């Protein structure tokens, strides 16, 4: 994705995530920090490739972004697939959604295969950049409303389906500087975390000054100029920072970075003009999130209770997030549609 395409999706956060981490060289650094250390040592990271396409449901694609990578190192013919997902809100039902994505990945690669074909191993990894720490379950089994005695009796029959969360609210920039990752990956993680935590002009300007070394590394790397333009556009879309403040910060970092701002002035002006529109969309994020969860809940209701009356679909789509969360918990243990939606 080129930097000028950052407005091509509903969420500028997802667009920036995709711009940075669709490059395997950038994604590898982020994944090494969250995958189990022994697995990191066994994988051949030089073989890492980005698989094109998306496994996010069509109705949720405006709200979520996924990337799929394949890596060798588990054996002579074994491949590991890592599903890398960006999340900016705490979503209790995320295990259900990820379960569906992983099933879609396996279905794609097994379609047309021989009966004795190996099933691909897929590890879901969520990069979470939100204002508050991640508090939702990281395994599907936690969503089942089971009495302790029943859970114990079922044992391994209750599917766990764990996934990994890299929570950027806990990002330590000093520790990040010591990790093995590209400068663009480091800058991307810092920017996503900073925007989620703060976003006001003064703190954003201070953050840019802290990132000076990383920005110089990016500038000297292949496609580095586009990376810095993407960063600037992202900050303009998602924070309160003004162009003058960006120019002031870049100027303090030296003439080469100052020139980046000057040479991309027209693009920055376009981003600044579009910022009002982007923020208008951002004000609708809560409702957009509710629509996505409503569609997922409707699918769960249909799977459990069969075809739904039209008034039920209207009721679910009109509900607010707290109500949708309550119904989502109820659908796992209720025995009737009426009991679920009461």
> Are 179 and 171 within 8 A, CB to CB?
no
What's the pLDDT score for residue 128? Answer: 93
CA atoms lying within 13 Å on the CB side of residue 217: 13
What's the pLDDT score for residue 184? Answer: 94
Instruction: Convert the pLDDT of each residue in 282-302 to its tens digit.
Output: 555 556 677 888 888 888 888
What's the pLDDT score for residue 274? Answer: 57
C-alpha distance from residue 297 to each of 66, 92, 300, 321 (Å): 20, 12, 5, 11
What's the pLDDT score for residue 268? Answer: 56
In this prediction the pTM is 0.72
Q: At what angle do helices 255-263 and 224-238 cross, to 10 degrees?
A: 70
SS3 46: strand
What's the pLDDT score for residue 59? Answer: 45
Phi, psi dihedrals of residue 53, rounded to the nearest 5°: 100, 175
**Ranges of the chain whose pLDDT falls below 50:** 1-4, 7-10, 59-64
What's the pLDDT score for residue 152? Answer: 94
What's the pLDDT score for residue 2? Answer: 46
Phi, psi dihedrals of residue 123, rounded to the nearest 5°: -110, 115
The CA-to-CA distance between both ends of the chain, in Å, stands at: 46
What's the pLDDT score for residue 270? Answer: 59
What's the pLDDT score for residue 62? Answer: 45
SS3 274: helix
Say which DSSP state 120 is in. Answer: P
**CA–CA separation, 204 and 46 (whole Å):** 35
Per-position b or e across 249-287, b if 16+ CB within 10 A of its CB: bbeebeeebbebbeebeeebeebeebbeebeeebeeeee
Q: Tell me the two tokens of residue 185.
A: 């990956």
Can you tell me which residue has the tokens 């802290």? 210
CA atoms lying within 13 Å on the CB side of residue 310: 0
Helix or strand run (H / E) with residue 70: strand 65-72
What's the pLDDT score for residue 137? Answer: 94
What's the pLDDT score for residue 107? Answer: 83
What's the pLDDT score for residue 23? Answer: 93
**CA–CA separation, 307 and 305 (whole Å):** 7
């Amino acid at each position: 994705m080129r930097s000028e395409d950052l407005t091509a999706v509903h969420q500028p956060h997802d667009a920036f995530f995709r711009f940075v981490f669709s490059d395997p060289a950038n994604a590898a650094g982020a994944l090494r920090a969250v995958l189990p250390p022994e697995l990191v040592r066994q994988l051949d990271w030089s073989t890492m490739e980005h698989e094109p396409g998306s496994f996010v449901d069509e109705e949720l694609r405006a709200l979520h972004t996924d990337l799929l990578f394949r890596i060798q190192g588990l054996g002579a013919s074994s491949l590991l697939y890592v599903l890398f997902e960006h999340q900016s809100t705490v979503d209790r039902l995320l295990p259900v959604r990820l379960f569906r994505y992983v099933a879609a990945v396996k279905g794609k690669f097994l379609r047309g295969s021989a009966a004795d074909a190996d099933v691909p191993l897929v590890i879901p990894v969520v990069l979470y950049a939100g204002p508050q720490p991640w508090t939702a379950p990281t395994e599907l089994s936690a969503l089942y409303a089971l009495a302790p005695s029943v859970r114990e009796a079922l044992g391994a029959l209750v599917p766990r389906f764990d996934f990994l969360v890299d929570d950027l609210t806990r990002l330590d920039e000093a520790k990040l500087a010591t990790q093995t990752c590209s400068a663009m990956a480091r800058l991307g993680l810092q920017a996503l975390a900073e925007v989620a935590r703060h976003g006001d002009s003064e703190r954003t300007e201070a953050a840019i000054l802290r990132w000076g070394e990383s920005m110089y590394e990016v500038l000297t790397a292949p496609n580095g100029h586009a990376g810095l333009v993407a960063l600037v556009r992202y900050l303009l879309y998602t924070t309160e920072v003004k162009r003058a403040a960006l120019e002031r910060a870049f100027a303090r970092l030296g003439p080469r970075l100052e020139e980046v701002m000057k040479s991309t002035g027209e693009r920055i002006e376009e981003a600044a003009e579009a910022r009002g529109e982007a923020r208008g969309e951002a004000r609708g994020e809560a409702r957009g999130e509710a629509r996505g969860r409503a569609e997922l809940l409707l699918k769960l209701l249909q799977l459990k209770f069969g075809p739904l009356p039209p008034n039920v679909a209207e009721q679910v789509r009109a509900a607010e997030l707290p109500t949708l969360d309550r119904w989502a918990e109820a659908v796992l243990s209720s025995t009737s549609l009426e009991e679920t939606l009461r």
